[in-house]
Chain A
Amino acid sequence: MKLLTDYRKTSTVAQLARAIQCAATRPWTLMEICGGQTHSILKFGLDQMLPPGLTLVHGPGCPVCVTPAELIDKAIAIALQPRVIFCSFGDMLRVPGSKHSLLDAKASGADVRVVYSPLDAVKLARENPQREVVFFAVGFETTAPANAMAAWQASQDKLSNFSLLVAQMLVPPAMRQILSSPNCRVQGFLAPGHVCTVEGYVEYERLAASFHVPIVVTGFEPVDLLEGILMVVRQLESGRADVENQYVRVVRREGNPAARAVVQEVFEVSDRHWRGVGLIPSSGLRLREAYRHLDAELRFPAAVTPAPRSELCLVGLVLQGLMKPSECPAFGKSCTPDQPLGAPMVSSEGACSAYYLYGRG
């Protein structure tokens, strides 16, 4: 695997760190959107290689963190129904809803299974015609094509025992929300490489132009991240606000047309609630009319009372880059991965868990 050697090479990393030191003459605040990027930055200690004035704040790009507690409550209610096999990506299981997590539901007897691919859930439905298989379709643009593919496949196969609980989010509306906030201190963005692999970056060109903010589509390895940071800093220093692509080995401007086509076929844009942030208009996807029969929310109309927002967990501030995890009064005290108050402390892409795991408390 080239990414394990070339893109983690100590000499290249040191060279890029020096280049950033030379390029940055003023203090700048950058946001990396994706939780995967946050974890790489802290895991490889890249934040310690940056000049003191250069601040990285961490964005909302953790699919687990932004999924509203109400939806997790709904997932648990569905999973606990008789005959249901509830399938989810592993990372989602530990995240608390208003009270419990899917792991708690599993411990109470629910048949909750981890799948790697949504198509594995479709296969389970085919193999278990007596059971109702529900897939928790969470994630950003990255997971949308595979989740859409599962819906398309189930529809083609006329599977009557498969459905999706959809919590599909979109990145650009969240960036617009952050940039529109009067408290916004972000001056440049590292855009999420994998999201752009699917959707391309035309949408980001509109954002860069309307908010005059440089955006660099960036990968996830140490060399990618430092190169992305260097490209944003150089733009800021020269007063530019363009969209540039650091992740050229994977991302094209138009994205992946085949993946976009299947997403278009199955999903349509809708408003979505973001955990800790609230309703963001046109910030998510839902099943189109032709696929609505696969909607688990309609198939299992479970009455779930809205979850009271935890006053102790400042997830909204963390997800919008307004507060560093370590600045939260609960961090590492009443909130740890073993006893989390909120999703960012448990998700493998959550900023709080990254700070805790890599000792930045």
Chain B
Amino acid sequence: MAAADSEFVLHCPVPADPGDRIVLAHGGGGKLSQRLFEHVFHPAFSNPLLDQRHDGAVLPAAAFQALADLAFSTDSYVVKPLVFPGGNIGDLAVHGTVNDLAMCGARPMYLSCAFILEEGLPVATLRAVVESMRRAAERAQVLLVTGDTKVVDYGKADGMFITTAGVGQVCHPVAASRIQPGDAIVVSGDLGAHGMAILSVREGLEFESPIVSDTAPLWPCVEALLKAHIDVHCLRDLTRGGLSSALNELAQTRGLIFQIEESLIPVTGPVRSACELFGLDPLYVANEGRFVAFLPAAEAQKAVDALKSLDVSQQATIIGFVSDEPGHSVHLRTATGGLRILQMLSGEQLPRIC
């Protein structure tokens, strides 16, 4: 038997790469897990902290300013399809978490990343996603320092789910409680592109359009505002539920009325047309590279100019002001001159019948 075994090993060398498709053993902690790390994750993310290959990462105190506050955030990413116009689940998973940190006024520094992979997922797809994550992390100047991989049975996940968590150093205090009556409300760019890009390629919809997701890191925008010495009061990214949900949450938390002008809210022609076709309102559609900022009205134009200097926020504009009346709602002056209350989204936006 021993002779046969050794002959078997000699004639069938273990493949050097992790194979074409993800199998359960890739998450089992054995040789295949190791190969997946060595051939897919390590080449993309290698850095001194990750290369120590502990279960966790020890973040060096020297990397942080003494007594600086830290921001910590986590988010899970489930998106169908995994690849969409303008991005994929990988860059989304990096941008989403670094943006949550940026919205705390924090410079994103370190990320963790946990993959849940579905048995049968092509390794090439995983490689493409990991490569996008590498580029996104590089662009956002964050290091991925620890991670985990699990594999679930075929049919138990939509290809893959990713959870990232991030740590950043707070550079400027931002909070809903700092929103003041009279503050200008600024959005960083045109709305609705991410949600409509996803919808346009989702199964069964057969909608061709040139709409590309806006997924992007937002820290450079926040940094530009801080470098221009803007006293930013509050920041919120406009992800699920879009502008409407973000503003409603803040109005309710702060107990003030926000007044915004529909005609000032930037929405591109293709997104507006796609929303009309689907019967959706762009103010409720998700974005992955847009935020709203509350800042002193006197500094608003300077803030917009600072944002416009960056590609990602070239369309930045003032859309309204915080009223001094107490209340908990968002008032929208419509493009036709009417007035309506902008409600929080109930459930999911579903396409209408006719």
The interface of chain A, by Cβ under 8 A from chain B, is: 1, 3-4, 8, 10, 13-14, 36, 42-46, 48-49, 63-64, 89-94, 113-117, 120, 124, 138-140, 142-143, 194, 222, 336-338, 348-349, 356-359
With contacts A1-B272, A124-B204 taken as known, whether A348 is within 8 angstroms of B336 at the C-beta atoms is no
From B273, B347, B353, contact of A1 by CB (8 A): B273
**Judging by beta carbons under 8 Å apart, are A48 and B205 in contact?**
no
With contacts A349-B353, A357-B343 taken as known, whether A49 is within 8 angstroms of B338 at the C-beta atoms is yes
**Judging by beta carbons under 8 Å apart, are A348 and B206 in contact?**
no
Question: Nearest chain-A residue to B343 (Cβ)?
Answer: A357
Question: Nearest chain-A residue to B339 (Cβ)?
Answer: A45
B261 to chain A, nearest CB (A): 12
Taking CB atoms, residues of chain B closer than 8 Å to A116 are 204-207, 351
Inter-chain CA distance A231–B353, complex, in Å, is 28
Taking CB atoms, residues of chain B closer than 8 Å to A13 are 336-337
Inter-chain CA distance A13–B263, complex, in Å, is 15
With contacts A89-B351, A357-B343 taken as known, whether A46 is within 8 angstroms of B336 at the C-beta atoms is yes
Inter-chain CA distance A64–B347, complex, in Å, is 17
**Judging by beta carbons under 8 Å apart, are A89 and B353 in contact?**
yes
Taking CB atoms, residues of chain B closer than 8 Å to A43 are 334, 340
Could you jot down 27 A-B contacts, CB within 8 Å? A1-B272, A13-B336, A14-B337, A36-B354, A42-B340, A45-B334, A45-B337, A45-B338, A45-B339, A49-B337, A63-B353, A64-B353, A89-B351, A90-B351, A91-B279, A91-B352, A93-B350, A114-B350, A114-B351, A115-B204, A116-B205, A194-B354, A338-B347, A348-B352, A359-B329, A359-B340, A359-B343
Taking CB atoms, residues of chain B closer than 8 Å to A36 are 352, 354
Q: Mark B256-274, 1 if CB is under 8 A from A, else 0.
A: 0000000000000100110
Interface centre among A48, A356, A359 (most CB of B within 10 A): A359
Inter-chain CA distance A93–B348, complex, in Å, is 11
Q: Tell whether B310 is near chain A: CB-to-CB under 8 Å.
A: no
A341 to chain B, nearest CB (A): 14
From B339, B347, B353, contact of A138 by CB (8 A): B353
From B203, B339, B351, contact of A48 by CB (8 A): B339
Give residues 42-81 of B contacting A (CB, 8 Å).
Answer: none
**Judging by beta carbons under 8 Å apart, are B350 and A91 in contact?**
yes
**Judging by beta carbons under 8 Å apart, are A91 and B339 in contact?**
no
With contacts A43-B340, A91-B352 taken as known, whether A338 is within 8 angstroms of B204 at the C-beta atoms is no
Tell me the count of chain B residues lying within 8 A, CB to CB, of chain A.
27
Inter-chain CA distance A181–B236, complex, in Å, is 52
List 6 A-B pairs, minimum CB-CB distance, nearest first.
A45-B338, A359-B341, A337-B346, A90-B350, A90-B351, A142-B354
B340 to chain A, nearest CB (A): 5
A-B contact count (CB 8 A): 98
**Judging by beta carbons under 8 Å apart, are A8 and B352 in contact?**
no
A247 to chain B, nearest CB (A): 15
**Judging by beta carbons under 8 Å apart, are B350 and A94 in contact?**
yes
A23 to chain B, nearest CB (A): 19
Taking CB atoms, residues of chain B closer than 8 Å to A336 are 346
Inter-chain CA distance A338–B347, complex, in Å, is 7
Inter-chain CA distance A4–B276, complex, in Å, is 9
Question: Nearest chain-B residue to A7 (Cβ)?
Answer: B336
B155 to chain A, nearest CB (A): 13
Taking CB atoms, residues of chain B closer than 8 Å to A64 are 353
Q: Tell whether B335 is near chain A: CB-to-CB under 8 Å.
A: yes
Taking CB atoms, residues of chain B closer than 8 Å to A94 are 347, 350
**Judging by beta carbons under 8 Å apart, are B343 and A1 in contact?**
no
Inter-chain CA distance A140–B354, complex, in Å, is 9
From A1, A138, A222, contact of B276 by CB (8 A): A1
Taking CB atoms, residues of chain B closer than 8 Å to A222 are 336
**Judging by beta carbons under 8 Å apart, are B336 and A8 in contact?**
yes
A124 to chain B, nearest CB (A): 7
B242 to chain A, nearest CB (A): 14
Taking CB atoms, residues of chain A closer than 8 Å to B206 are 116-117, 120
A167 to chain B, nearest CB (A): 11
Taking CB atoms, residues of chain A closer than 8 Å to B329 are 359
Inter-chain CA distance A104–B134, complex, in Å, is 39
**Judging by beta carbons under 8 Å apart, are B337 and A139 in contact?**
no
Taking CB atoms, residues of chain A closer than 8 Å to B339 are 45, 48
B27 to chain A, nearest CB (A): 25
A149 to chain B, nearest CB (A): 14
Taking CB atoms, residues of chain B closer than 8 Å to A89 are 351-353
Inter-chain CA distance A44–B205, complex, in Å, is 28
Give residues 246-299 of B contacting A (CB, 8 Å).
Answer: 269, 272-273, 276, 279
A49 to chain B, nearest CB (A): 7
Taking CB atoms, residues of chain B closer than 8 Å to A143 are 353-354
Taking CB atoms, residues of chain B closer than 8 Å to A138 are 353
Contacts A14-B337, A46-B336, A91-B353 known; 17 new A-B pairs at CB < 8 A? A4-B273, A4-B276, A8-B336, A10-B337, A46-B338, A49-B337, A49-B338, A89-B353, A91-B279, A93-B350, A120-B206, A142-B354, A222-B336, A348-B350, A356-B343, A357-B343, A359-B329
Taking CB atoms, residues of chain A closer than 8 Å to B343 are 356-359
Taking CB atoms, residues of chain B closer than 8 Å to A92 are 353
Inter-chain CA distance A222–B346, complex, in Å, is 25
Q: Mark B199-210, 1 if CB is under 8 A from A, else 0.
A: 000011111000
B211 to chain A, nearest CB (A): 14
Inter-chain CA distance A350–B273, complex, in Å, is 22
B333 to chain A, nearest CB (A): 9
Taking CB atoms, residues of chain B closer than 8 Å to A359 are 329, 340-341, 343
Taking CB atoms, residues of chain A closer than 8 Å to B338 are 44-46, 48-49
**Judging by beta carbons under 8 Å apart, are A358 and B341 in contact?**
yes
A94 to chain B, nearest CB (A): 6
Inter-chain CA distance A357–B332, complex, in Å, is 12
Inter-chain CA distance A349–B352, complex, in Å, is 8
**Judging by beta carbons under 8 Å apart, are B204 and A120 in contact?**
yes
Inter-chain CA distance A141–B329, complex, in Å, is 39
Taking CB atoms, residues of chain A closer than 8 Å to B204 are 113-116, 120, 124
Inter-chain CA distance A64–B351, complex, in Å, is 12
Inter-chain CA distance A124–B205, complex, in Å, is 12
**Judging by beta carbons under 8 Å apart, are B336 and A10 in contact?**
yes
Q: Mark B316-337, 1 if CB is under 8 A from A, else 0.
A: 0000000000000100001111
Give residues 191-205 of B contacting A (CB, 8 Å).
Answer: 203-205
B210 to chain A, nearest CB (A): 15
A38 to chain B, nearest CB (A): 13
